[in-house]
Amino acid sequence: MTLRQINGVLMILAFFLASCGKEPVPEPQSLSANKTQVTFDASASEQVVQISANCNWVIAESWDTTDGKWFTVTPQMGQGNGTLTISVQANTGADRTADITVSSAEKNVRITIVQKEQEVLSRSISQIRDLYNGADVTITEKIVVTATVISNYMHTDNGGLNNYTSMKAIVVSDGEAGIQLYCAENNTAFNQGDKVEIELMGQTLSVYNNGPLQVNGIPLANITKVGTETITAKEITAAQLITGEYESMYVAIPSVQVVDEDLNKTFVVGSAHTSIGMIAQTEETFDVFSSRYSSFKDVTVPSGSGVLKGIASVYDGRYQISFAKVSDWEGLTGDRFYTSPTFALYTTEKEISGEEGQFTVSIAGNVEWTVTSSDPVGFAVSPSSGSGSSPVTVAYTQNPSVTESRTAEIVFSTTDPAIETQTLTLHVTQSPYEALVSDPVRPWMELPKVQAEDDFAYISHMTGLKGKSVRNYSFWYDTRNRLASWVAYPLYTEIMGSGSRTDAWDYNPKVPKRYQPSLYYSFGGSTYDRGHQLPSADRLYSQDVNASTFYFTNLTAQNPSFNQNLWARLEINVRDWARECDTLYVVTGAMIRTPEDQTVEYVSDNDGNQVAVPRIYYKVLLKYQADQTENGGYSSIGFYYENRSYTAEYPVAADAKSVKDLETLTGFDFFHNLPDNIEEIVEASCTPEEWGLN
């Protein structure tokens, strides 16, 4: 046997000897990843990580945000070498991190996932407008726009023109394009000329009723003032305006005038939002839109031609402008443009109120003329001559009659030989002087005793209910201070009803407007609510009866916290009590003076009139239950509160007063139509527990 053979045998023998009684030594586990950190930008995306291993492994995950898991890892386990796919959702917030751990029986590999916050993108308004393609679109990127406020839609007390349908609207422009912001709350912070940065992520672009493109419901917190800038109008033609390319920009349109049929109108007609027609010399037409709240609502539209400025817009497919400044119409001073000699009066009838006042009238023409009045004392005209569309002022006195109308004729004449009809007449009819007349006082159970008093009037309203005429409410009206001292009404299930609130703020047709506050929107220069004395929710039987609760005579200046909390809870209680009995007779009152303090605080209405602010609000309640025999089925309770904020949210037993106590406080004789023996007992009693108060 050779030496090599001997050595081979010895080696084999050694192997078997060494193996006898022992386990094989396993290979050591190996586990690693080609990345220990994976970084993503803010967009949704995915990356892969290579795993090298000679063993089984599983995935464990953790993340640092409270908004839930924002990534996925696949697969969740494996054997040997493999590939992990890590996917992340789009990040709309700050930087965020997560960890995944790849684990075997002996080893752990940690991989950190980092996703950066979205980059702030500066965009122009044109680029924002391009995002809209005919349907609502939500902006998902972190976009910021820098622009200047060009509108002045704020309340007049904040220096605004209040000439839009909502004080939530702001129009901004960057000089190349514009857009409307419809905010989540009224704008009280951003003035015309403020340069602002607007954060748009999460906001929706929308169009309502073929109107302007707007950012809908944007919080004021998303708008930051960064400076101020002088706004200037961009000159465009009427033809360019009606292309819509200049929507929400401040523009100047030359060679335009009011259409003949709208001559002599005011920018706001009556109490309605108003569109005044305009025509260009090149014959394009558009409107001037003004809300009924506008500070300039009583200004007569200029009759001349020239340059008109305003914010370009559109509504229901009709192109329009709204004013940004009171100087926007000052350029309409030129002669009206006509192709031939013209002498016309578009309207030949004019109705005016019985009070003294004045109005202006203009000829649609381009010739010289004279004007006379058939009653120069009652209806004086000035000037007596002019040319073209120069306005004439007609000043009229109060109608001396409270029953008969009176009339006058305003006659325009020209001697221009090119005019066929050389005399034009405006017939003026003045209504009788509107006197405030009290209604007859009926023996209704809810009425306090009514005694005639200067500057006060008793007014009652009826309504229809199931085919019958029933009483709605009555009130004792203080004409000097423009509020009702008390409002009295019956309350029962049928008349409360279950309809909807109308928000039909308007004048009371039974009281001359000169005695009422104008309250189409909140009291001027204050934080007072328009508090109802007869609550809207007490009259939901029909739209008409609910609308009567929004008459200005039913409204008072009420502390908003009080109105919306403690007083509102008392009104809810009153309705609940009414449902539990046959009829609840209610008197709600507002005291502007107290025995201790006779001074009166005033606040302005929408027209600048002074309206008294109540110091005390009270309610006296008389409950009638037909199935009760004690005291004829009647019981009573009363409440009064100062017009201020309260920490308490609900009325309690300690708030209750007897009707006698409230008669002493107010000076009124409540429920005097009860039989005397019952009245005395019922009004002296006050048992809160019987009304569910603790």
CATH number of 456-691: 3.40.570.10
pLDDT at 353: 87
Does the pLDDT at position 549 exceed 60?
Answer: yes
User: What pLDDT sits at residue 67?
Assistant: 72
Q: What is the pLDDT of residue 525?
A: 63
pLDDT in tens, 368-415: 999 999 999 999 999 999 999 999 999 999 999 988 999 999 999 999
Q: What is the pLDDT of residue 407?
A: 97
Of 290, 312, 292, 311, which is closest to residue 301 (Cα–Cα)? Answer: 290
| CA distances to 16, 352, 376, 444 from 408, in Å | 138, 11, 9, 46
Q: How, if at all, do strands 423-430 and 349-352 pair?
A: parallel
220 closest CA partner among 191, 182, 258:
182
- The half-sphere exposure of 325 on its side-chain side, counting CA atoms within 13 A, is 17
**Segments of the chain assigned to CATH 2.40.50.140:** 121-228, 234-334
How far is residue 474's CA from residue 443's CA, in Å, rounded to a whole number?
A: 12
Phi, psi of 425 (to 5 degrees): -125, 130
Give the β-pairing of 364-365 and 349-352. unpaired
Residue 531 and residue 634: Cα distance in Å, rounded? 29
Element holding 85 (H helix, E strand): strand 82-88
Specify the amino acid at residue 242: I
Identity of the amino acid at 488 = A
Pick the CATH number of 31-115 from 3.30.70.240, 2.60.40.10, 3.40.50.450, 1.20.1640.10: 2.60.40.10
CA distance 10 to 621: 120
Query: Does the pLDDT at position 138 exceed 60?
Result: yes
Whether the per-residue pLDDT at 628 is higher than 60: the answer is: yes
In this prediction, residue 131 carries a pLDDT of: 96
Q: What CA–CA distance (Å, rounded) separates 36 from 30?
A: 16
List the one residue out of 162, 249, 248 whose CA is nearest residue 211: 248
Predicted local distance difference test score (pLDDT) of residue 9: 43
CATH 3.40.570.10 segments of the chain: 456-691
Separation CA 252–CA 91 (nearest Å): 44
> What does pLDDT average to over the chain?
92
CA dist 2 and 22 (Å) reads: 32
As a whole number of Å, the end-to-end CA separation of the chain is: 119
Q: What is the pLDDT of residue 24?
A: 65
Helix, strand, or coil (residue 550): helix
What's phi and psi for 679, nearest 5 deg? -55, -45
Look at residue 156 and tell me whether its pLDDT is greater than 90.
Answer: no
With 80 as the cut, is the pLDDT of residue 228 above it? yes
Distance CA(114)–CA(33), nearest Å, equals 17
Instruction: DSSP letter for 24, please.
Output: P
- Provide the residue type at 14 as one letter: A
Query: Is the pLDDT confidence value at 185 over 50?
Result: yes
How far is it, in rounded angstroms, from Cα 291 to Cα 269? 10
Quick check: 5 pLDDT over 60?
no
The pTM for the full model equals 0.64
pLDDT at 527: 81
Its sign, for the CA torsion 673, 674, 676, 680, is negative
DSSP H helices in 596-675: 659-666
Tokens of 125: 């308004």
pLDDT of residue 118: 79
In this prediction, residue 13 has a pLDDT band, given cuts at 50, 70 and 90, of very low
Domain with CATH 2.60.40.10 in the chain: 31-115, 344-430
**Is beta strand 77-79 parallel, antiparallel or unpaired with respect to 483-491?**
unpaired
Task: Report which residue type is found at 254.
Answer: P
The token pair at 582 is 């046959």
> Which range has the top average pLDDT, 118-122, 266-270, 560-564?
560-564
High-pLDDT (> 70) share of the chain, %: 96
Q: Can you tell me the distance from the alpha carbon of 181 to that of 403, in angstroms, rounded to the nearest whole number?
A: 51
Q: Are 325 and 309 in contact (CB under 8 A)?
A: yes
Among 456, 591, 434, 600, smallest CA distance to 513 is for 434
Tokens of 192: 């015309």
Nearest alpha carbon to residue 439 among 421, 462, 416, 417: 462
Residue 549: which region, alpha, beta or left (left: phi > 0; alpha: psi -120 to 50)?
Answer: alpha
Cis peptide before 443 (omega within 30 of 0): no
CATH 2.30.38.10 fits 344-430, yes or no: no
Architecture in CATH for domain 121-228: Beta Barrel (2.40)
Q: Is 3 left (phi over 0), alpha (psi -120 to 50) or beta?
A: alpha
Identify the CATH class of 234-334.
Answer: mainly beta
Q: Is the pLDDT of residue 18 over 60?
A: no
Task: Say what angle helices 659-666 and 676-684 make with each other, to 10 degrees.
Answer: 90
CB-CB contact of 349 with 427 (8 Å): yes
Strand (E) positions, 559-609? 583-591, 602-604
Residue 185 in contact with residue 168, Cβ under 8 Å? yes
More confidently predicted of 19 and 542: 542
Q: Which amino acid type is present at position 98? A: A
Is 632 in a helix, a strand, or coil?
Answer: helix
Closest by CA position to 490, among listed 539, 430, 423, 544:
539
| pLDDT score of 4 | 45
Q: What is the pLDDT of residues 291-349, one digit of tens each?
A: 988 889 889 999 999 999 999 999 988 999 999 999 999 999 999 999 899 999 988 89
> What was the pLDDT predicted at 23?
60
Residue type, 691: W
In angstroms, the CA 482 to CA 519 distance is 11
- To which residue do tokens 């007049």 refer? 156
pLDDT tens by residue, 486-510: 999 999 999 999 999 988 999 999 9
The continuous run of DSSP H or E covering 322 comes out as strand 318-322
Q: Using one digit for the tens of pLDDT, what is the confidence trace for 42-75?
A: 889 999 999 999 999 999 998 887 778 999 999 9
CA distance 7 to 447: 132
Quote the CA–CA distance of 115 and 86 in Å, as a whole number: 12
Q: Which residues of 298-322 are buried (b: 16+ CB within 10 A; e: fewer)?
A: eebbbbbbbbbbbbbbbbeeebbbb
Q: How far apart are CA 91 and CA 80, in angstroms?
A: 33
Place of tokens 């001359």: 512
Q: Distance between CA 628 and CA 581 in Å, rounded?
A: 10
Q: In one letter, which amino acid is 29?
A: Q
R_g of the chain computed on alpha carbons: 39
What integer pLDDT is reported at residue 271 of this predicted model?
A: 72
Tell the burial category of 652 from Cβ atoms under 10 Å away from its Cβ (0-12, 13-18, 19+).
exposed
Distance separating alpha carbons of residues 339 and 559, to the nearest angstrom: 60
pLDDT at 20 over 80: no
- Cα–Cα nearest to 97, from 105, 108, 107, 86: 86
Residue 677 is classified by DSSP as H
CA gap 13, 681 in Å, rounded = 126
